[in-house]
Amino acid sequence: MRHFAIVGSGPAGFYTAEALAKAYGAGAAIDLIDKLPVPYGLIRFGVAPDHQSIKAVSRRYEQVAESEGVRFIGNVAVGEAVSVDQLLGLYDAVVLATGAPHDRALGIAGENLPGVVGSAAFVGWYNGHPDFADLDPPLDGEAAVVIGNGNVALDVARILSKTRDEFAGADIVNHAIDALDHSRLRTITLLGRRGPHQIAMTPKELGELGHLAAASPEVDPGDLPDEGADAALEPGMRKSVAHLRGFVAPDAARPKRIVFDFFARPVRIEGEGRAERVIVERTRLDGARAVGTGEEYAVPARLVVSCIGYAAPPIGGVPYDQTGGRYANEEGRIADRLFAVGWARRGPSGTIGTNRPDGQEVAAQIAAAMPEGSDGGKAGHEGLAALLGARGVHPTSFDDWRTIEAAEVAAARAGAPREKFVRHTDWLSLLGR
C-alpha cells in the first residue's frame, strides 16, 4: 500500500486525490488534510455566494471523498499540529494544495488604516470564513473603492451593490446580508492601473453588472480605445470589452453607481483615524505597462477593498517564492517526495478547472516514481492518527462534515441552500466536542 497526504481540501486537493486514486486504484490510501473542520476550501469560502452553479462542483468532490482509499481529515493545521517533515516521515509523498489564502499588501501609505481590507478578508466575511466572521466592514459611508480589475473585484462590487431580494438562492451568511441590507453605499469605484483592453474580467461576470436591480455600471467613454482595436483581442476579451462599451450610458434611475475608473493607480490612502479617501495618480500606457503621469486626484471612500492578488501561506521548512507568493517548485516538485499543486504551485491564476490538470500532472510524477505494487513501508493514516492523538488534536471526518452540512441546511433562511456556521466552536459543539 502507498500512503499519500494532500494538504488542503479545496479544488486542487480534490483533483489531485482523484488523479492519485485513478492511478493507483485500491493500492493507495490518500488523506486530505485541512486546517478547518469542513472541506472544499475556495468553493465554500471563496466563490461568490450568488454563484451557486460554480459551487455545485463540490458534488464531484463528494464522490472523491467517499471513494475507497480517500479520507478527509479536518481540524488539523499543518505547520502547527504536525510539520511537513513529520508528514514526509509518515507518507510516501506529500502534496501541498493550500491555495493562496493570504492577501497581497498594497505597499502604499495608509493601507493599514481602519476601513482598508483585503479581498480575502472581505470575501471571507460574506462567505462565512471563521477567520473573518468579526470583520465588520464599514458600510456607513456613501462611497467605497475596490482596487483591482479582475473577477474578484467584480464579485466585491456586485455583492456591495445587491439588494436583499437579489440574494435569493445564495448562501451568503446572515451577518453579511443583514449588514449589507443597512448599507449607505451609493458609489462603488473600481480602480484599474491600465485600460479596458488589459482587464482580467470575464464576460459572464461583467454581464451580471448590467442586470442589477438598484445599481448601474458606468464607464467613461474617454477611457475606451478606438472600437476598431477590439478586433485584435481574443474572443472572450472582445465580449468583455463589449460589455464595458455598453456601460457608457448608465441608468440614472438606479440609486447606486458602479464606476469603472481606468488608468488609475492608488498612491496612498488618507483619513483622520480611518480611511476617508484614496489618492490616485492618472496613468498612461507605455506598451503594456502603466506609467504615472504625475496628475493626482482624490476618490472618497470609507471602505477600501484591495483585490490585487493572493499568496500561499509560508510553512516551516518549505522553500518559498516571495515574488510569486507560492512554494518554490519545478513543474510542481518542491523536493524529494514533496509537491505543490494549484495556486500553491502557480500563484493565484486560472480558474477552478485549471487545478485539474495540475493534479493530474503531479499524480503522474508520483506514480512514475512510485510504481503501483511497490511498498514504501510508511505508517500513513494510522501513524498520523497516533501522532495527533498524543498531541490532543481531534480531527474531523467526512461523516462529521455530513453532520455539519445537514445542520446548516436545516438552519437555512427561506430560499437559501444553507446557513453556514462561522466559528470553530459551533462546528465542534455540533459534533459533541
Q: What is the CATH number of the domain that holds 209?
A: 3.50.50.60
Round to whole Å and give the CA distance between 221 and 228: 14
Round to whole Å and give the CA distance between 8 and 339: 13
Q: Give 179: exposed, middle or buried? Use CB within 10 Å, 0-12, 13-18, 19+.
A: middle
Residue 422 domain boundaries: 2-101+310-430
The counts of H helices and E strands in the chain are 15, 19
Same domain (yes/no): 173, 266: yes
Total count of domains within the chain: 2
pLDDT for 374: 66
* Percentage, residues of the chain above pLDDT 90: 94
At which of 253, 275, 306 does a domain end? 306
What are the pLDDT digits (tens) for 256-273? Answer: 999 999 999 999 999 999
Same domain (yes/no): 59, 145: no
Same domain (yes/no): 49, 187: no
At which of 306, 331, 358 does a domain end? 306
Same domain (yes/no): 135, 186: yes
CATH number (domain holding residue 368): 3.40.50.720
pLDDT band at 433 (very low <50, low <70, confident <90, very high): confident
Same domain (yes/no): 389, 424: yes
Same domain (yes/no): 154, 19: no
Same domain (yes/no): 170, 42: no
What are the pLDDT digits (tens) for 215-225? Answer: 999 999 999 99
> Quick count: other Cβ atoms within 10 Å of Cβ 95?
32
Round to whole Å and give the CA distance between 114 and 92: 46
Same domain (yes/no): 275, 148: yes
pTM of the model: 0.94
Residues sharing a CB contact under 8 Å with residue 34, sequence separation 6 or more, in sequence order: 7, 8, 9, 13, 41, 72, 73, 74, 75, 76
pLDDT for 119: 96
Same domain (yes/no): 243, 144: yes
| Displacement of CA 18 from its chain's centroid (Å) | 21
- Helix, strand, or coil here: 75? coil
At which of 265, 286, 306 does a domain end? 306
What are the pLDDT digits (tens) for 10-45? Answer: 999 999 999 999 999 889 999 999 999 999 999 999
Same domain (yes/no): 216, 317: no
Same domain (yes/no): 189, 281: yes
Reply yes or no on whether the pLDDT at 401 is more than 90: yes
Same domain (yes/no): 426, 399: yes
pLDDT band at 375 (very low <50, low <70, confident <90, very high): low
